[in-house]
Amino acid sequence: MNPERLWAPWRMTYIKGIGHDENTCVFCEAPKMDDDRKALVLYRGKVSFVILNLYPYNNGHMMVVPYMHTADMLALPDETSAEMWKLVCKCKEALTQAFHPDGFNIGLNQGRVAGAGIDQHIHMHIVPRWSGDTNFMPVVGETKVISQGLEETWDELKKFLCNPGTGE
């Protein structure tokens, strides 16, 4: 038997941590970029924004991130916490309309020991889930198969996450 191989070479960057600069925060830099599609920013709120995860657990994996750089959710002003939760709900609605998932994982990992890959800037995950989306690949093959590229995912979700009054 000759098994098929699915290659995910982009994962090695994440695994090795190449390009990870301890002095630069990706969540502080992304909203400064002029090209939202390139930065994977889907929505800009007053005090927080929505971004696609560069290393998604599933297709459509989004994060809600405050502009304020902090590792502690208790440091967030009430206005920021409220807007972040509203954006989590907006993301869930957009993912439902765009991809019709069977469920969601929604949460926040506070600290590296709790699973935060970027632990110096708080962020909330919204991960769409489908029946059967976990199979032997991540368990045996240590490879997650994502069915759509980030740019195509951005294009699809952006239709459902327009900034108010701008159409953008």
pTM for this model (two decimals): 0.75
Q: Which residues are catalytic?
A: 123
Per-residue pLDDT band at 56 (split at 50, 70, 90): confident
Q: What is the pLDDT of residues 76-127, one digit of tens each?
A: 999 999 999 999 999 999 999 999 999 999 999 888 888 888 889 999 999 9
pLDDT given at position 2:
44
Residue-level length of the chain: 168
User: 55-71 burial by CB neighbour count: b if 16+ within 10 A, else e?
Assistant: ebbbbbbbbbbbeeeee
pLDDT band at 16 (very low <50, low <70, confident <90, very high): low
* The domain made up of 24-158 is a member of CATH 3.30.428.10: yes
The domain spans of the chain are 24-158
| H/E segment holding residue 160 | none
pLDDT band at 12 (very low <50, low <70, confident <90, very high): low
Residue 166 in this model has a pLDDT that exceeds 80: no
